[in-house]
Amino acid sequence: MPRLTINGKEHDLELDVRTSLLDALRDHLALTGTKKGCDHGQCGACTVLVNGLRVNSCLTLAVMHEGDAITTIEGLGEPGNLHPMQQSFLEHDGFQCGYCTPGQIMSAVGMLGEAEANWPSHVTDELEGGASLSNAEISERMSGNICRCSAYPNIVDAIRTVAE
C-alpha cells in the first residue's frame, strides 16, 4: 500500500501513512524532477498534476492518491520530444537557476487546462471572444509559483506563447 499511478505507470509502495506525495516521488521513486523548496505550500516548486489539476505535492499525503492520475515533469515530455510548454520555456529563456522550472511548467500546463472550469467569467468571455490571456492574468494565475531569480517576464512570455 498504496498503489499510485504516476505518469501512466502503477507503483506499489511501502510508505508510512504520513509520507507526503512529494517525498514519495523523490525518495521512493527517484522522480527528482519535482523539487522541494519550502515544504509547506508557499513556493510551488513541488507542483504536480493530479487528475489534470495543479497540486502542491508537499501538502498532500501519498496515501490519499490511490486511483488518481499523477503527472510529474518526467511524464510531460522527454529529450527530443518536449511538451510545447517545455519547448516554450527553452525558447524564451524562462528560467535562470532552473530550480523552480519543473513546478513552473507543471503549473502552467495545469493552469491552461483549468481555464474553462475555474477562471472568472470575465476572463473566459474574453477568451471566447478570441482574446489572448494578458500578462497580468497569467501572472495572477501563476502566483503560487515563486522564482527567486525573478525570471518572471520570460516565464510569462513562454506561457502566453503557448496559450495563444
Residues that bind ligand FES (CB under 6 A): 36-39, 41-46, 56, 58
Q: CB 63 → ligand FES: shortest distance, Å?
A: 18
Per-residue CA distances from 45 to 22, 134, 158 (Å): 10, 23, 18
d(CA 157, CA 63): 37
Name the nearest CA neighbour of 160 among 136, 144, 143: 136
Under DSSP, the state recorded for 20 is B
Residue closer to ligand FES (CB basis): 2 or 37:
37
Q: CB 103 → ligand FES: shortest distance, Å?
A: 8
Q: CB 120 → ligand FES: shortest distance, Å?
A: 24
Q: CB 45 → ligand FES: shortest distance, Å?
A: 5
Joined grid coordinates for residue 69 = 492520475
Residue closer to ligand FES (CB basis): 46 or 138:
46
R_g of the chain computed on alpha carbons = 16
Residue closer to ligand FES (CB basis): 41 or 120:
41
Please identify the residue of the shown chain whose CB is closest to the bound ligand FES.
Answer: 58
